Amino acid sequence: MKTKVLKSNQIDEAVSFLKNGELVALPTETVYGLAADATNEKAVSKIFSAKGRPSDHPLIIHLDSVDKIIDWVEEIPDSAKKLADYFWPGPLTMIFQKKKPVSDLITGGLETIALRVPKHPIALTVIKKLGSAVAAPSANAHKRTSPTKPEHVLKTLSGKIAAIVDGGSCSIGLESTIIDMTRAVPVILRPGAITRVMIEHVINTHIQEQLEHQQKVPGNMAIHYQPEKPLFLISMEEIKRRVSQEKNVAIMHHSDILKTKNATYYKMPKNKAEYARSLYETLYRIDSTDVDKIFVEKPASHNKWFDIHDRLYRASSK
Ligand code: AMP
Ligand code: MG
Protein backbone atom coordinates (compact mmCIF):
# COMPACT_ATOMS: atom_id res chain seq x y z
CA MET A 1 0.00 0.00 0.00
CA LYS A 2 1.30 3.46 -0.86
CA THR A 3 0.52 6.01 1.83
CA LYS A 4 -1.05 9.10 0.30
CA VAL A 5 -0.01 12.47 1.71
CA LEU A 6 -3.08 14.74 1.64
CA LYS A 7 -3.16 18.51 1.98
CA SER A 8 -5.54 20.29 4.34
CA ASN A 9 -7.86 21.05 1.38
CA GLN A 10 -8.21 17.32 0.61
CA ILE A 11 -10.15 16.45 3.73
CA ASP A 12 -12.96 14.80 1.74
CA GLU A 13 -10.51 12.22 0.48
CA ALA A 14 -9.40 11.47 4.06
CA VAL A 15 -13.07 11.03 5.02
CA SER A 16 -13.64 8.62 2.09
CA PHE A 17 -10.73 6.46 3.20
CA LEU A 18 -12.15 6.32 6.73
CA LYS A 19 -15.65 5.49 5.41
CA ASN A 20 -14.06 2.63 3.45
CA GLY A 21 -12.54 1.22 6.64
CA GLU A 22 -8.99 2.46 5.98
CA LEU A 23 -6.57 4.15 8.40
CA VAL A 24 -5.69 7.85 8.12
CA ALA A 25 -3.16 9.74 10.24
CA LEU A 26 -4.58 13.08 11.36
CA PRO A 27 -3.00 16.10 13.02
CA THR A 28 -4.32 17.03 16.47
CA GLU A 29 -3.05 19.75 18.79
CA THR A 30 -1.22 17.12 20.91
CA VAL A 31 0.40 14.65 18.47
CA TYR A 32 -0.61 12.99 15.18
CA GLY A 33 -3.29 10.34 15.72
CA LEU A 34 -3.83 7.15 13.71
CA ALA A 35 -7.55 7.30 13.00
CA ALA A 36 -10.07 4.58 12.15
CA ASP A 37 -13.86 4.85 12.04
CA ALA A 38 -14.69 3.91 15.64
CA THR A 39 -17.97 2.26 14.58
CA ASN A 40 -16.21 -0.14 12.19
CA GLU A 41 -14.54 -3.04 14.07
CA LYS A 42 -12.58 -4.20 11.07
CA ALA A 43 -11.12 -0.71 10.60
CA VAL A 44 -10.28 -0.45 14.32
CA SER A 45 -8.50 -3.82 14.21
CA LYS A 46 -6.19 -2.44 11.50
CA ILE A 47 -4.80 0.07 14.05
CA PHE A 48 -3.36 -2.80 16.08
CA SER A 49 -1.67 -4.45 13.11
CA ALA A 50 -0.31 -1.20 11.63
CA LYS A 51 1.21 -0.15 14.97
CA GLY A 52 2.19 -3.61 16.21
CA ARG A 53 0.16 -2.74 19.29
CA PRO A 54 -0.96 -5.50 21.72
CA SER A 55 -4.73 -6.01 21.43
CA ASP A 56 -5.41 -5.50 25.16
CA HIS A 57 -4.31 -1.87 25.07
CA PRO A 58 -7.29 0.48 24.90
CA LEU A 59 -7.75 3.29 22.36
CA ILE A 60 -8.92 6.85 22.88
CA ILE A 61 -12.14 7.76 21.03
CA HIS A 62 -12.08 11.23 19.48
CA LEU A 63 -15.41 13.07 19.17
CA ASP A 64 -16.28 16.30 17.37
CA SER A 65 -18.46 17.68 20.17
CA VAL A 66 -19.32 17.29 23.83
CA ASP A 67 -22.91 16.14 23.02
CA LYS A 68 -21.55 12.91 21.50
CA ILE A 69 -20.37 11.61 24.90
CA ILE A 70 -23.75 9.96 25.45
CA ASP A 71 -23.21 7.65 22.46
CA TRP A 72 -20.36 5.94 24.38
CA VAL A 73 -20.90 6.44 28.09
CA GLU A 74 -23.38 4.99 30.57
CA GLU A 75 -23.36 7.93 32.98
CA ILE A 76 -21.61 11.32 32.96
CA PRO A 77 -20.56 12.54 36.42
CA ASP A 78 -21.21 16.26 37.08
CA SER A 79 -17.50 16.95 37.50
CA ALA A 80 -16.87 15.47 34.03
CA LYS A 81 -19.52 17.78 32.55
CA LYS A 82 -17.69 20.74 34.10
CA LEU A 83 -14.33 19.57 32.75
CA ALA A 84 -15.78 18.95 29.28
CA ASP A 85 -17.35 22.42 29.21
CA TYR A 86 -14.12 24.02 30.32
CA PHE A 87 -11.40 22.05 28.52
CA TRP A 88 -13.03 20.59 25.38
CA PRO A 89 -12.05 20.89 22.65
CA GLY A 90 -8.59 20.42 24.12
CA PRO A 91 -5.81 18.11 25.36
CA LEU A 92 -7.81 16.30 28.08
CA THR A 93 -8.89 12.66 27.83
CA MET A 94 -11.55 11.48 30.29
CA ILE A 95 -12.27 7.89 31.28
CA PHE A 96 -15.88 6.80 31.86
CA GLN A 97 -17.91 3.63 32.39
CA LYS A 98 -18.58 2.47 28.85
CA LYS A 99 -21.99 1.76 27.34
CA LYS A 100 -22.63 -1.98 27.05
CA PRO A 101 -22.45 -2.30 23.26
CA VAL A 102 -19.05 -0.56 22.93
CA SER A 103 -16.59 -2.99 21.36
CA ASP A 104 -13.96 -4.74 23.50
CA LEU A 105 -11.54 -4.02 20.71
CA ILE A 106 -11.69 -0.32 21.57
CA THR A 107 -11.56 -0.72 25.34
CA GLY A 108 -9.00 -3.54 25.41
CA GLY A 109 -11.60 -5.61 27.26
CA LEU A 110 -12.05 -2.99 30.01
CA GLU A 111 -15.45 -1.77 31.25
CA THR A 112 -14.24 1.80 30.81
CA ILE A 113 -13.73 4.04 27.78
CA ALA A 114 -11.44 7.01 27.08
CA LEU A 115 -12.93 10.04 25.27
CA ARG A 116 -11.56 13.34 24.00
CA VAL A 117 -12.62 16.22 21.74
CA PRO A 118 -9.43 17.40 20.01
CA LYS A 119 -8.81 21.07 19.30
CA HIS A 120 -7.55 20.95 15.74
CA PRO A 121 -9.61 22.15 12.77
CA ILE A 122 -8.51 19.24 10.53
CA ALA A 123 -9.27 16.52 13.08
CA LEU A 124 -12.60 18.14 13.99
CA THR A 125 -13.70 18.58 10.38
CA VAL A 126 -12.79 15.00 9.47
CA ILE A 127 -14.74 13.60 12.44
CA LYS A 128 -17.75 15.83 11.68
CA LYS A 129 -17.81 14.81 8.00
CA LEU A 130 -17.41 11.14 8.92
CA GLY A 131 -20.53 11.51 11.05
CA SER A 132 -19.37 9.15 13.81
CA ALA A 133 -16.14 9.19 15.85
CA VAL A 134 -12.58 8.02 15.34
CA ALA A 135 -10.48 5.70 17.47
CA ALA A 136 -7.02 7.21 17.40
CA PRO A 137 -3.85 6.28 19.27
CA SER A 138 -0.63 8.11 18.45
CA ALA A 139 0.43 7.50 14.83
CA ASN A 140 3.69 5.67 15.48
CA ALA A 141 4.93 2.10 15.78
CA HIS A 142 4.20 0.65 19.25
CA LYS A 143 6.44 2.02 22.06
CA ARG A 144 8.12 4.58 19.81
CA THR A 145 8.18 8.34 20.07
CA SER A 146 4.86 10.04 19.26
CA PRO A 147 4.87 12.01 15.98
CA THR A 148 4.47 15.77 15.88
CA LYS A 149 5.12 16.18 12.13
CA PRO A 150 3.98 14.23 9.04
CA GLU A 151 7.50 12.93 8.34
CA HIS A 152 7.60 11.36 11.83
CA VAL A 153 4.43 9.39 11.01
CA LEU A 154 5.82 8.24 7.67
CA LYS A 155 9.01 7.05 9.33
CA THR A 156 7.26 4.12 11.06
CA LEU A 157 3.89 3.81 9.28
CA SER A 158 4.61 4.55 5.60
CA GLY A 159 3.13 1.75 3.45
CA LYS A 160 0.98 0.51 6.37
CA ILE A 161 -1.78 3.15 6.29
CA ALA A 162 -3.92 4.60 3.49
CA ALA A 163 -3.16 8.28 4.05
CA ILE A 164 -1.97 11.10 6.24
CA VAL A 165 -3.33 14.64 6.29
CA ASP A 166 -0.48 17.16 6.47
CA GLY A 167 -1.31 19.69 9.17
CA GLY A 168 2.26 20.84 9.82
CA SER A 169 3.64 20.73 13.37
CA CYS A 170 1.45 19.97 16.41
CA SER A 171 1.10 23.01 18.65
CA ILE A 172 1.35 21.19 22.02
CA GLY A 173 3.62 18.31 21.05
CA LEU A 174 2.89 15.98 24.01
CA GLU A 175 0.05 13.49 24.44
CA SER A 176 -3.17 14.53 26.25
CA THR A 177 -3.65 14.49 30.01
CA ILE A 178 -5.67 11.36 30.92
CA ILE A 179 -8.00 11.51 33.91
CA ASP A 180 -10.07 8.63 35.26
CA MET A 181 -13.55 9.98 36.12
CA THR A 182 -14.92 6.61 37.25
CA ARG A 183 -13.42 6.86 40.76
CA ALA A 184 -14.96 8.67 43.73
CA VAL A 185 -11.97 11.03 43.52
CA PRO A 186 -10.78 11.56 39.91
CA VAL A 187 -7.24 10.33 39.23
CA ILE A 188 -4.75 11.56 36.64
CA LEU A 189 -3.25 8.54 34.87
CA ARG A 190 -1.06 10.47 32.42
CA PRO A 191 0.16 14.05 32.98
CA GLY A 192 -0.15 16.53 30.12
CA ALA A 193 -0.64 20.18 29.19
CA ILE A 194 -3.75 20.36 31.39
CA THR A 195 -2.30 20.03 34.87
CA ARG A 196 -3.71 18.75 38.16
CA VAL A 197 -3.93 22.31 39.48
CA MET A 198 -5.89 23.51 36.42
CA ILE A 199 -8.36 20.63 36.83
CA GLU A 200 -8.72 21.22 40.58
CA HIS A 201 -9.62 24.85 39.90
CA VAL A 202 -12.47 23.84 37.64
CA ILE A 203 -14.03 21.08 39.76
CA ASN A 204 -13.08 22.59 43.10
CA THR A 205 -11.91 19.23 44.46
CA HIS A 206 -8.50 17.76 45.24
CA ILE A 207 -7.62 15.03 42.78
CA GLN A 208 -4.89 12.43 42.70
CA GLU A 209 -2.07 11.58 40.36
CA GLN A 210 -1.47 7.87 40.16
CA LEU A 211 1.06 7.18 37.48
CA GLU A 212 2.18 3.72 38.55
CA HIS A 213 -1.29 2.21 38.36
CA GLN A 214 -1.85 -1.43 37.59
CA GLN A 215 -3.83 -1.15 34.38
CA LYS A 216 -1.91 -2.63 31.51
CA VAL A 217 -1.94 0.26 29.10
CA PRO A 218 0.98 1.66 27.11
CA GLY A 219 0.71 5.15 28.55
CA ASN A 220 1.67 3.53 31.82
CA MET A 221 4.48 1.26 30.76
CA ALA A 222 7.89 2.14 32.14
CA ILE A 223 9.28 1.85 28.62
CA HIS A 224 7.41 3.95 26.08
CA TYR A 225 7.95 6.94 23.82
CA GLN A 226 11.46 5.66 23.14
CA PRO A 227 13.75 7.00 20.43
CA GLU A 228 15.92 4.49 18.57
CA LYS A 229 19.11 5.69 20.27
CA PRO A 230 19.59 4.97 23.97
CA LEU A 231 18.62 8.04 25.99
CA PHE A 232 20.07 9.00 29.39
CA LEU A 233 18.32 11.54 31.59
CA ILE A 234 21.08 13.08 33.72
CA SER A 235 22.14 16.31 35.41
CA MET A 236 24.35 18.91 33.71
CA GLU A 237 27.17 17.96 36.11
CA GLU A 238 26.94 14.36 35.00
CA ILE A 239 26.82 15.36 31.33
CA LYS A 240 30.02 17.35 31.78
CA ARG A 241 31.65 14.41 33.55
CA ARG A 242 30.58 11.77 31.05
CA VAL A 243 30.95 13.62 27.76
CA SER A 244 34.74 13.25 27.68
CA GLN A 245 34.38 9.45 27.64
CA GLU A 246 32.14 9.49 24.56
CA LYS A 247 33.01 9.39 20.87
CA ASN A 248 29.78 10.56 19.28
CA VAL A 249 26.94 11.67 21.51
CA ALA A 250 23.95 14.04 21.15
CA ILE A 251 23.33 16.41 24.04
CA MET A 252 19.93 18.00 24.64
CA HIS A 253 20.48 20.81 27.10
CA HIS A 254 18.72 23.96 28.28
CA SER A 255 21.57 25.38 30.41
CA ASP A 256 24.61 26.97 28.81
CA ILE A 257 27.43 24.55 28.11
CA LEU A 258 30.90 24.68 26.58
CA LYS A 259 30.73 22.68 23.36
CA THR A 260 33.12 19.81 22.66
CA LYS A 261 33.96 18.22 19.28
CA ASN A 262 32.80 14.70 20.13
CA ALA A 263 29.20 15.81 20.73
CA THR A 264 26.34 17.42 18.82
CA TYR A 265 24.48 19.98 20.91
CA TYR A 266 20.73 20.63 20.78
CA LYS A 267 19.69 23.70 22.74
CA MET A 268 16.23 23.20 24.24
CA PRO A 269 13.86 26.07 25.16
CA LYS A 270 13.70 27.16 28.80
CA ASN A 271 9.97 27.82 28.47
CA LYS A 272 7.92 24.72 29.35
CA ALA A 273 5.37 24.90 26.50
CA GLU A 274 8.11 25.50 23.94
CA TYR A 275 10.16 22.65 25.38
CA ALA A 276 7.16 20.32 25.04
CA ARG A 277 6.57 21.44 21.46
CA SER A 278 10.13 20.69 20.41
CA LEU A 279 10.83 17.57 22.53
CA TYR A 280 9.70 14.81 20.14
CA GLU A 281 10.82 16.75 17.10
CA THR A 282 14.33 16.97 18.53
CA LEU A 283 14.33 13.24 19.34
CA TYR A 284 13.31 12.42 15.75
CA ARG A 285 16.04 14.76 14.43
CA ILE A 286 18.65 13.08 16.60
CA ASP A 287 17.44 9.62 15.57
CA SER A 288 18.13 10.50 11.94
CA THR A 289 21.81 11.18 12.73
CA ASP A 290 24.57 8.67 13.46
CA VAL A 291 25.16 9.44 17.16
CA ASP A 292 25.55 6.48 19.54
CA LYS A 293 23.48 7.82 22.39
CA ILE A 294 21.57 10.81 23.73
CA PHE A 295 22.26 12.69 26.97
CA VAL A 296 19.31 14.81 28.09
CA GLU A 297 19.81 17.44 30.76
CA LYS A 298 17.18 16.82 33.45
CA PRO A 299 14.74 19.75 33.46
CA ALA A 300 13.92 21.56 36.71
CA SER A 301 11.82 19.48 39.09
CA HIS A 302 8.99 22.03 39.11
CA ASN A 303 5.42 20.64 39.06
CA LYS A 304 4.71 22.40 35.80
CA TRP A 305 7.30 20.16 34.12
CA PHE A 306 5.69 16.96 35.40
CA ASP A 307 4.53 15.79 31.95
CA ILE A 308 7.97 16.36 30.41
CA HIS A 309 9.65 14.42 33.25
CA ASP A 310 7.17 11.60 32.80
CA ARG A 311 7.87 11.25 29.04
CA LEU A 312 11.66 11.64 29.39
CA TYR A 313 11.72 9.05 32.16
CA ARG A 314 9.80 6.55 30.02
CA ALA A 315 11.97 7.36 26.98
CA SER A 316 15.18 6.71 28.89
CA SER A 317 17.17 3.47 28.90
CA LYS A 318 16.81 1.60 32.16
P1 AMP B 1 -1.84 6.33 22.71
O2 AMP B 1 -1.92 4.91 22.28
O3 AMP B 1 -0.42 6.84 22.69
O4 AMP B 1 -2.79 7.23 22.02
O5 AMP B 1 -2.32 6.33 24.20
C6 AMP B 1 -3.67 6.07 24.50
C7 AMP B 1 -3.73 5.84 25.98
O8 AMP B 1 -5.02 6.05 26.47
C9 AMP B 1 -3.45 4.42 26.37
O10 AMP B 1 -2.11 4.17 26.36
C11 AMP B 1 -4.00 4.38 27.76
O12 AMP B 1 -3.03 4.85 28.69
C13 AMP B 1 -5.14 5.35 27.71
N14 AMP B 1 -6.45 4.71 27.81
C15 AMP B 1 -7.32 4.51 26.81
N16 AMP B 1 -8.45 3.91 27.28
C17 AMP B 1 -8.27 3.74 28.60
C18 AMP B 1 -9.06 3.17 29.65
N19 AMP B 1 -10.29 2.68 29.42
N20 AMP B 1 -8.53 3.15 30.88
C21 AMP B 1 -7.30 3.65 31.12
N22 AMP B 1 -6.50 4.19 30.19
C23 AMP B 1 -6.98 4.24 28.94
MG1 MG C 1 1.29 6.20 21.81
Residue 32 near residue 14 (C-beta atoms within 8 A):
no
Residue 198 is predicted with a pLDDT of 97
Residue 214 is predicted with a pLDDT of 45
pLDDT at 175 over 70: yes
For ligand 1, mutation pick of 59, 99, 145 (most atoms within 8 Å of CB)? 59
Residue 171 is predicted with a pLDDT of 98
Give the global pTM: 0.95
Residue 223 is predicted with a pLDDT of 65
Q: Whose CA is nearest to atom 2 of ligand 1?
A: 137
CATH 3.40.50.11030 domain locations along the chain:
231-315
Q: What single DSSP character describes residue 300?
A: P
Mean of the per-residue pLDDT values for the chain?
Answer: 94
| Ligand 1 centroid, distance to 114 Cα (angstroms) | 7
Q: Pairing relation of β-strands 231-234 and 293-297?
A: parallel
The fold of the 4-209 domain, in CATH, is DHBP synthase (3.90.870)
pLDDT at 318 over 80: no
* Ligand in nearest proximity to the CA of 34: 1
Find out whether the beta carbon of 186 lies less than 6 Å from any atom of ligand 1.
no
Find out whether the beta carbon of 191 lies less than 6 Å from any atom of ligand 1.
no
CA dihedral 181, 98, 120, 266 (to 10 degrees): 60
Find out whether the beta carbon of 219 lies less than 6 Å from any atom of ligand 1.
yes
Architecture of the domain defined by 231-315: 3-Layer(aba) Sandwich (3.40)
The Cα 163–Cα 33 span in angstroms is: 12
Give the pLDDT band (50/70/90) at residue 302. confident
Give the pLDDT band (50/70/90) at residue 224. confident
Residue 123 near residue 28 (C-beta atoms within 8 A):
yes
Residue 108 is predicted with a pLDDT of 93
CATH 3.90.870.10 domain locations along the chain:
4-209
Residue 219 is predicted with a pLDDT of 47
| Ligand 2 centroid, distance to 26 Cα (angstroms) | 14
